[in-house]
Amino acid sequence: MANVKLAVVFYSMGGTNLQLAKWAEEGAKEAGAEVKVLKVQELAPESVIQGNEVWKSTVEKMKDIPVATSDDLEWADAIIFSTPTRFGNMASQMKQFLDLQGGLWASGKTVNKVVSAMTSAQNPHGGQEATILSLYTSMMHWGAIIVPPGYTDPVLFGAGGNPYGTSVSVDQDGNMVEDVQGAVKHQAKRTVTVAEWVKKANQ
């Protein structure tokens, strides 16, 4: 292992993407990576968050997780993004975080970052693939190396078979419909492996 450094950058309102991020952390650590789990800055008004018990509870669960910065992205060899879908796009909180990385991009520090993405929605056709692709579009501008899971392991079929990145449906009670833990861990390990190849090639 070429000491791969992975940043898992996520946004979560109901806790789903927080859990996906934690599973990605576990998978990456099993692959020998050094991992930082980081949340993006919340943009919603405090009054709105406090009026939603699930949202309020998730914010409390995440209080000790650091907010992602440009320095974290520069530190990382690889980045896994996890965001819920919002009308077929990434959440605005994640979008703003990406939009703030112009300085990093302009200085060439996003080039050859190894990236992958995950998402969640209330139903299987609620924009999951489109959300991941919206994130990958930004990554193309970064000159990043996109690592989708494809169909590289049978565990992906049990998780719904999304080749773009692990995605999960969430029911009205906030429970995950598909069993995606294994798929998330596989995606994280695959991302770390490719990052190792890239890092070794550049040494």
Q: What is the pLDDT of residue 10?
A: 98
Tokens representing 172 are: 């009205």
Q: Cβ distance 92 to 86 under 8 Å?
A: yes
Q: Which domain holds residue 142?
A: 5-201
Q: Cβ distance 81 to 115 under 8 Å?
A: yes
DSSP tag of 30: H
Q: What is the pLDDT of residue 173?
A: 86
Q: What is the pLDDT of residue 202?
A: 82
Long-range contacts of 98-105 (CB under 8 A, 24+ apart): 98/135, 98/138, 100/70, 101/70, 101/73, 101/142, 103/70, 104/70, 104/73, 104/74, 105/141, 105/142
Neighbours of 171 (CB within 10 A): 10
Q: Please give the Cα distance from 168 to 171 (Å, whole number).
A: 10
Exposed/middle/buried for 111, CB within 10 Å: 0-12, 13-18, 19+? exposed
Q: What is the pLDDT of residue 2?
A: 63
Q: Cβ distance 186 to 23 under 8 Å?
A: no
Q: Which of 97, 147, 126, 95 is nearest to 16 (CA)?
A: 126
Query: What CATH number did the domain enclosing 195 receive?
Result: 3.40.50.360
pLDDT tens-digit profile, the chain (203 residues): 569 999 999 999 999 999 999 999 999 999 999 999 999 999 999 999 999 999 999 999 999 999 999 999 999 999 999 999 999 999 999 999 999 999 999 999 999 999 999 999 998 889 999 999 999 999 999 999 999 999 999 999 999 999 999 999 999 888 999 999 999 999 999 999 999 999 999 87
The backbone region for 160, taken as left when phi is positive above 0, alpha when psi lies in -120 to 50, beta otherwise, is: left
How many domains does one find in the chain? 1
pTM: 0.96
